[in-house]
Amino acid sequence: MWGHFFVLSVVVATALGGEVSIPPNALRNGMKERFRTGTFSPEFQQLLQSMGMAHKFRSNVEEREDDIVCQLCNELIDPILKKYEVERLPLDIVWHIALTRTEKGSETICPIIGQGYGCSGIGLADWSINIPPGSSNINHGVVSGEELQAVLLTDIHYDPYYEAGSLATCNLPVCCTVNTVPAYPEDAAGFWGDYRDCDTAFRTIDDALTFISAQHTDLDFVYYTGDVIHHRVWNTSIDANTNDLRLIFDRLDAAFPNIPIYSVLGNHEPHPLNVFAPLEVQDDALSTQWLFDLSADIWSKWLDEDALATVRLGGYYTVLVKPGFRIVAINSNVAYTFNWWLLYDDVDPYGQLQWLADTLYQAELNGERVHILSHVPSNGGSTYSIWSREYRRVIDRFAGIISGAFNGHSHNDELILYHSLENPSQPISVAWNGGSLTTFSDKNPNYKLFKIDAENFEVVDYEVWAFNLTSANLTPDITPDWFMLYSFKDVYGLSGAAPQDVRQLALNMASDRSVVEQYFRFSSRYADTALSGGCNDGCLRNLLCKLLRSEFNDYTQCLELTPEW
Ligand SMILES: *[C@@H]1O[C@H](CO)[C@@H](O)[C@H](O)[C@H]1NC(C)=O
Ligand SMILES: *[C@@H]1O[C@H](CO)[C@@H](O)[C@H](O)[C@H]1NC(C)=O
Ligand SMILES: [Zn+2]
Ligand SMILES: [Zn+2]
pLDDT tens digits, 125-175? 899 999 999 887 777 877 788 999 999 999 999 999 999 999 999 988 899
Sign of dihedral through CA atoms 171, 169, 157, 545? negative
What percentage of the chain carries pLDDT values higher than 90? 70
Q: For a pocket test of ligand 2, which of 444, 471, 483, 484 has the largest count of ligand atoms closer than 8 A to its C-beta? A: 471
Return d(Cα 379, Cα 330) in angstroms, integer: 15
Q: 290-299 burial by CB neighbour count: b if 16+ within 10 A, else e?
A: ebbebbbbbb
Does residue 102 lie in a domain region? yes
Give yes or no for residue 237 CB within 6 A of ligand 1: yes
Q: For a pocket test of ligand 1, which of 161, 170, 179, 268 has the largest count of ligand atoms closer than 8 A to its C-beta? A: 161
Nearest CA to ligand 1 atom 14: 235
Both 322 and 412 in one domain: the answer is yes
Report the separation in Å between the CA atom of 217 and the middle of ligand 3, taken as the mean of its atom positions.
Answer: 27
For position 55, what pLDDT does the model report?
36
Which tens digits make up the pLDDT trace of 302-342?
Answer: 999 999 999 999 999 999 999 999 999 999 999 998 888 88
| Ligand 2 atom having least distance to the Cα of 527 | 13
Nearest CA to ligand 1 atom 4: 161
Report the separation in Å between the CA atom of 161 and the middle of ligand 1, taken as the mean of its atom positions.
Answer: 9
For position 46, what pLDDT does the model report?
66
Both 451 and 504 in one domain: the answer is yes
Give yes or no for residue 2 CB within 6 A of ligand 2: no
Helix axes of 513-523 and 499-511: crossing angle, nearest 10 degrees: 110
Report the separation in Å between the CA atom of 227 and the middle of ligand 2, taken as the mean of its atom positions.
Answer: 28
Both 78 and 165 in one domain: the answer is no
Q: How many Cα neighbours within 13 Å face the side chain of 181?
A: 1
Give yes or no for residue 290 CB within 6 A of ligand 2: no
Q: For a pocket test of ligand 1, which of 175, 180, 235 has the largest count of ligand atoms closer than 8 A to its C-beta? A: 235
Which tens digits make up the pLDDT trace of 166-215?
Answer: 999 998 889 999 999 999 999 999 999 999 999 999 999 999 999 999 99
What average pLDDT does the chain have? 87
Provide the 10 A C-beta neighbour count for residue 415: 21
Give yes or no for residue 529 CB within 6 A of ligand 2: no
Both 108 and 224 in one domain: the answer is no
Does residue 123 lie in a domain region? no
Which tens digits make up the pLDDT trace of 74-89?
Answer: 666 665 555 444 433 3
Return d(Cα 529, Cα 116) in angstroms, integer: 27
Report the separation in Å between the CA atom of 229 and the middle of ligand 3, taken as the mean of its atom positions.
Answer: 8
> What residues form DSSP beta bridges with 431?
405, 416
Does residue 126 lie in a domain region? no
Both 110 and 156 in one domain: the answer is no
Does residue 389 lie in a domain region? yes
Does residue 113 lie in a domain region? yes
Give the pTM.
0.87
Nearest CA to ligand 2 atom 13: 526
Both 452 and 553 in one domain: the answer is yes
Distances from the Cα of 51 to the Cα of 12, 72, 159, 289, angstroms: 11, 14, 25, 36
Both 186 and 96 in one domain: the answer is no
Both 93 and 231 in one domain: the answer is no
Q: How confident is the model at residue 4 (pLDDT cuts 50, 70, 90)?
A: very low
Q: How confident is the model at residue 437 (pLDDT cuts 50, 70, 90)?
A: very high
Structural domains counted in the chain: 2
Give yes or no for residue 240 CB within 6 A of ligand 1: yes
Provide the 10 A C-beta neighbour count for residue 134: 11
Nearest CA to ligand 2 atom 2: 471
Return d(Cα 145, Cα 418) in angstroms, integer: 25
Alpha helices per DSSP H over 424-498: 469-474, 488-492
Give yes or no for residue 243 CB within 6 A of ligand 1: no
The residue segments making up the domain with residue 407 are 147-561
Higher pLDDT, 120 or 13: 120
Return d(Cα 182, Cα 163) in angstroms, integer: 12
Which tens digits make up the pLDDT trace of 532-553?
Answer: 999 999 999 999 999 999 999 9
The dihedrals phi and psi of 210, each to the nearest 5 degrees, come to: -60, -45
Both 106 and 186 in one domain: the answer is no
Closest listed ligand to the CA of 485: 2
Helix, strand or coil, per DSSP, at residue 512: coil
Nearest to 273 by CA among 295, 289, 288: 288
Q: What is the DSSP letter of 518?
A: H
Return d(Cα 445, Cα 436) in angstroms, integer: 6
Does residue 134 lie in a domain region? no
Report the separation in Å between the CA atom of 409 and the middle of ligand 3, taken as the mean of its atom positions.
Answer: 4
Both 488 and 360 in one domain: the answer is yes
Q: For 180, left (φ over 0), alpha (ψ -120 to 50), or beta?
A: beta
| Ligand 1 atom having least distance to the Cα of 232 | 1
For position 13, what pLDDT does the model report?
45
Return d(Cα 72, Cα 64) in angstroms, integer: 15
Both 280 and 325 in one domain: the answer is yes
Closest listed ligand to the CA of 236: 1
Report the separation in Å between the CA atom of 447 and the middle of ligand 3, taken as the mean of its atom positions.
Answer: 14
| Ligand 1 atom having least distance to the Cα of 237 | 13
Does residue 24 lie in a domain region? yes
Maximum CA pair distance of the chain?
67
Closest listed ligand to the CA of 469: 2
| Ligand 2 atom having least distance to the Cα of 526 | 13
Give yes or no for residue 528 CB within 6 A of ligand 2: yes
- Cα 186 from chain centroid (whole Å): 30
Q: For a pocket test of ligand 2, which of 467, 468, 517 has the largest count of ligand atoms closer than 8 A to its C-beta? A: 468
